């Protein structure tokens, strides 16, 4: 579904670019064909750039306080913005449309198998860059597509359950590691609520709105309502769904989590909403929301956490269920 939608949107953008080219030549009387092509494509890119800018603006309204040591100068802010813009363009116009996958196996894997769980409005193609890094590190990994795209977070749990069991059956491992982006982290928490932790050695979340995000107030679908943050960064509170989810979790379950987040996330705002009490919370800065899985620094940290969790699981006798 998401792949089809992204292809349709890509086709519409190309059609609009052609229409703009015709306007440039016939109406605006631009004699240079190269200039007409540049103008038509440039206007499309400008529209996409403004969407990214709007996300940053809305996130600023709900923002949490950035530590003084992590504040950005103008050059770093430009790198943040264009890095996020580039990641958004790559994922929404290319990888999600043409690079979906269900598994990538490697010979002699160096860690437990990994299940990748994407976020809101995405599919497995989002993980294309992370998948390359995992394969290079010789980590076998699988991906799940969560559909329908506007469904409830609870409705995605069966897909994760089926994927978890399939990975364990296929690899012969009793446990696996979940790496989840954004809403995918909440889907994983809902999975643990319903099915327990026996199959899970570690959960690594990237930019997950564990306590909600103000931008979800502008989203559509049941999942957006469940992810909402009410109020500002200081006096706000999580949605009822998130509060109920938190009440089902104990310290032992939270200890399974590593939450990686950016103080400059442009979708999760307040940004410290990604901090999960009882989890290992790892802060980054200067990285946007979509760009998290594209960042070499994030990829390296994820691989480090996967290997550490795998070593810990192998050192624990009777750690894996039969």
**DSSP secondary structure, 182-203, as one string:** THHHHHHHHHHHHH-STTEEEE
Indicate the pLDDT class of residue 317, thresholds 50, 70 and 90.
Answer: low
The answer to whether residue 33 sits within a structural domain is yes
The answer to whether residue 322 sits within a structural domain is no
Query: Which residues make beta-bridge pairs with 282?
Result: 260
Residue 321 has pLDDT above 70, yes or no: no
- 260 SS3 class: strand
CATH number at residue 135: 3.40.50.1820
* Residue ranges making up the domain that contains 287: 1-316
Number of C-beta neighbours around residue 192 at 10 A: 23
Residue 318 has pLDDT above 70, yes or no: no
Tens digit of pLDDT for each residue in 91-149?
A: 999 999 999 999 999 999 999 999 999 999 999 999 999 999 999 999 999 999 999 98
Residue 319 has pLDDT above 50, yes or no: no
The answer to whether residue 321 sits within a structural domain is no
Tens digit of pLDDT for each residue in 16-56?
A: 999 999 999 989 989 899 999 999 999 999 999 999 999 99
**pTM of the full structure:** 0.95
Tens digit of pLDDT for each residue in 262-293?
A: 999 999 999 999 999 999 999 999 999 999 99
What domain count does the chain have? 1
Contact (Cβ atoms closer than 8 angstroms) between residue 269 and residue 231: no
């Amino acid at each position: 579904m998401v792949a089809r939608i992204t292809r349709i949107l890509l086709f519409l953008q190309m059609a609009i670019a052609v229409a703009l080219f015709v306007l440039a030549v016939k109406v605006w009387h631009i004699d240079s064909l190269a200039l007409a092509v540049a103008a038509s494509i440039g206007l499309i890119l400008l529209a996409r750039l403004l969407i990214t800018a709007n996300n940053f603006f809305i996130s600023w309204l709900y923002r949490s306080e950035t530590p003084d040591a992590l504040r950005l100068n103008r050059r770093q802010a430009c790198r943040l913005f264009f890095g996020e813009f580039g990641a958004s363009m790559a994922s929404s116009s290319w990888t999600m449309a043409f690079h979906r996958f269900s598994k990538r196996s490697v010979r002699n894997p160096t860690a437990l198998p990994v299940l990748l769980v994407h976020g809101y409005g995405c599919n497995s193609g989002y993980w294309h860059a992370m998948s390359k890094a995992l394969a290079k590190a010789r980590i076998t990994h699988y991906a799940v597509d969560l559909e329908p795209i506007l469904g409830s977070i609870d409705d995605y749990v069966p897909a994760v359950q089926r994927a978890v069991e399939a990975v364990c059956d296929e690899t012969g491992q009793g446990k696996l590691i979940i790496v989840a982006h954004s809403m995918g982290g909440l889907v994983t928490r809902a999975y643990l609520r319903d099915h327990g932790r026996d199959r899970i050695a570690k959960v690594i979340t990237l930019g997950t709105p564990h306590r909600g995000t103000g931008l979800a107030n502008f989203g559509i679908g049941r999942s957006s309502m469940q992810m909402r943050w009410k109020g500002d960064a200081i006096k706000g509170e999580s949605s009822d769904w998130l509060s109920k989810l938190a009440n089902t979790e104990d310290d032992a379950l939270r200890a399974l989590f590593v939450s990686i987040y950016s103080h400059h996330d442009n979708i999760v705002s307040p940004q410290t909403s990604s901090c999960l009490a009882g989890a290992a919370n790892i802060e980054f800065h200067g990285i946007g929301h979509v760009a998290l899985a594209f960042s070499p620094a994030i990829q390296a940290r994820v691989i480090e956490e996967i290997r550490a969790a795998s070593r810990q699981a192998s050192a624990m006798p009777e750690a894996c269920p039969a």
